[in-house]
A and B are shown apart, each in its own frame.
Chain A
Amino acid sequence: MQNDILKEIQEALLSMDMEKTLMLTKRALEQEFDPIKIIEDGLSSGIKRLGEMYENGEAFLPELIMGAEIMKRAVEIVKPELEKRKEERKKLGRVMLATVEGDVHDIGKNLVALMLWINGFEIIDLGVDIPAKEIIEKIRELKPDVLGLSALLTTTLLEQKRVIEELEKAGLRKNVKIIVGGAPVTEEWAKKIGADGYASDAVKAVYKVKELLEL
């Protein structure tokens, strides 16, 4: 009975039915369901399945973005209960994400953040158009395990390189694994600028981060 509602949440999310997903999430809470289970086994499972469908060409970007929005709103409903119970999801690691300076695109970065979060990572999203200096300060302060740098424009690709160089200069490079992504980014580019990894999309970013952290 209990697992049925989680399955229903998952199915409602996969059907892109915002209203039903939120209604079922509320109902699960009313039934005193473990909020972490609602997130992990209901909502996150739905998004993971959506990610697989996206990888296989059965779902497209609008479905993925819509799924993310549904999940975001459902998590907002669950959050107060989580806080009340002082429960926390287990964390596999801390990932800091930023779109580099000069670039204002965030759709790819936001999807990477979502997929990593549902897979158990803590996310620090610095936002878009972030100068190298600010990224370095935040790394020093918050000590993430992984830094993800996004760039959509060729003109801002060099900024990924610059952040890595600045991290070297600051003596922080060895403290953090770096993955890069964005439309013009390639495996060769990642190697050339001294990143630890490259991911062509949000689902692959999860595998890459796990691989880098040997999880």
Chain B
Amino acid sequence: MIMNGQKEWEKNNERFLATLNLEESDRVPIMDIVNNEKIRKIVETNDPLETNARAYSYLGIDITRDYWWHTDFMWFKNKFFEWMDVLGIKKEGWAIKTKAGTTWIDKRPFKNLDELSNMLPPEPDESKIAEWFIPYHKKTIEGYKKYGIVFVGNFEGPLTEAYMFTGYDLFFQAMFMAKNIVNKLLDVFEKWIMIRLKLWVEENMGDVVFLGEDIAFDKGLIFSPKWLNENWFPRIKRIRDFLFNKNIKMIFHSDGNLYPILDKLVFDLKIDALHPIDPTAGMKINEVKEKYGDYIALIGYIDCSHLLPFGTIKEIIEKVKETLYIAAPSSGYILGSSSEIHDAIPIENAKVLYETGRKYGKYPIKKVIT
């Protein structure tokens, strides 16, 4: 199962960077997240990081932003550790619950804006963050590299961190009734991400980072364009400018329908790539490719809500071929699911997704729509 480690990693990294630069390489890169118990059981070892790397290697995935995938480490559980033990948020009153293969916040220590105002996160402490961030990320990068897999630093944006901290309801209330709380939260979480990005750059951990900021859902933007322009965009622009000046590529992620803000993301923010082109929210890769394909790379799009869990092998093959023909000719597309390979996706369906990508993703790809 173990590949040529370093050599394979270099090839995958080169292909990845070429695609983000919109240059043709040997084949379409494959990037994804796997969170699937059936696959884990096949590759499991005592070491969660090793298990992760083996899963990606087993499926033929070149690149991931996944940390040490394990139910115990997933998303909020990981986030909880980071928030409490690294950022210094007090633990009392918080509770989490693991459901459907991931972990969610079950209880927060505040119920209203008054209580929240007394429990805002502290100012991030750079040395404390460095103490955790550097060894943890170096270990992760090396753990994957052994199996030839490129790890992309995964950072959640300040807005997502802020509304996850408060919960949607309270964050929305604060937007209208306590703007100082919103500003304070966004300030803290902007510092939190900037410190980690600086460490990522200083420690030369990689040429690409993944910035997740869920600002949309299936109906369109969660927040009004006006609010985003005034409160979010200047912050994300500062993050982008920092990365741009350090020659680091930025993949921007948001679920949902991003059409109303795509011009802004591509032409003002100058993102390098967009993920995941959410098909269930009405995003169409042919439209995005046609309008923005000369400026950004596209990542994902293969529907993991219905096609991958419930579709036939033939349907998956056809969709991957069609997507490659639309999005990949002359570079600019990285194959992957529209979110992750979750528990409802059969192993065979996941395997055929990547096998088809490797088979039909070799350059030159003819621009033929089946």
A interface residue numbers (CB < 8 A to B): 16, 18, 57, 59-63, 65-66, 69, 102-104, 107, 129, 153-158, 183-184, 186, 189, 200-201
Contacts and interface: CB of A to CB of B under 8 A. Distances in A.
B118 interface: no
Given A61-B222, A155-B344, A186-B306, A103 B100 contact: yes
A158 B342 CA distance: 13
B contact patch SS = mixed
Interface string B213-234: 0000111111110010000000
B168 interface: yes
Contacts of B280: 183-184, 186
A62 B222 contact: yes
Counting chain B CB atoms within 10 Å of each CB, the highest count among A153, A156, A189 belongs to A153
Nearest to B344: A155
Nearest to A104: B104
B175 interface: yes
B99 A103 contact: yes
B197 to A, nearest CB: 27
Contacts of A66: 172-173, 175-176
A28 B120 CA distance: 37
A60 B309 contact: no
A14 B309 CA distance: 42
6 contacts: A18-B177, A61-B217, A62-B176, A69-B173, A155-B344, A200-B218
A154 B306 CA distance: 8
Nearest to A15: B176
B223 A154 contact: no
Nearest to A54: B219
A62 B309 contact: no
Contact of A154 (B173, B219, B342): B342
A62 B217 contact: no
Contacts of B306: 154, 184, 186, 189
A196 B344 CA distance: 24
B305 interface: yes
Contacts of A201: 219
Nearest to A129: B99
B109 interface: no
B268 interface: no
A200 B218 CA distance: 9
Contacts of B122: none
Interface of B: 97, 99-101, 104, 106, 168-169, 171-173, 175-177, 217-224, 227, 280, 304-306, 309, 342-344
Contacts of A186: 280, 306
B100 A65 contact: no
Return the 7 tightest CB-CB contacts between A and B, nearest first: A184-B305, A62-B172, A65-B172, A155-B100, A16-B176, A102-B100, A60-B224
Contacts of A189: 306
A154 B342 CA distance: 8
Given A66-B176, A154-B305, A102 B219 contact: no
B359 to A, nearest CB: 26
B101 A155 contact: yes
Contact of B97 (A59, A62, A104, A184): A104
B106 A104 contact: yes
A153 B255 CA distance: 13
B218 A183 contact: yes
B177 A154 contact: no
B168 A57 contact: no
Given A61-B222, A183-B280, A156 B100 contact: yes
A29 to B, nearest CB: 23
Contacts of A103: 99-100
Nearest to B345: A154
Contacts of A65: 168-169, 172-173
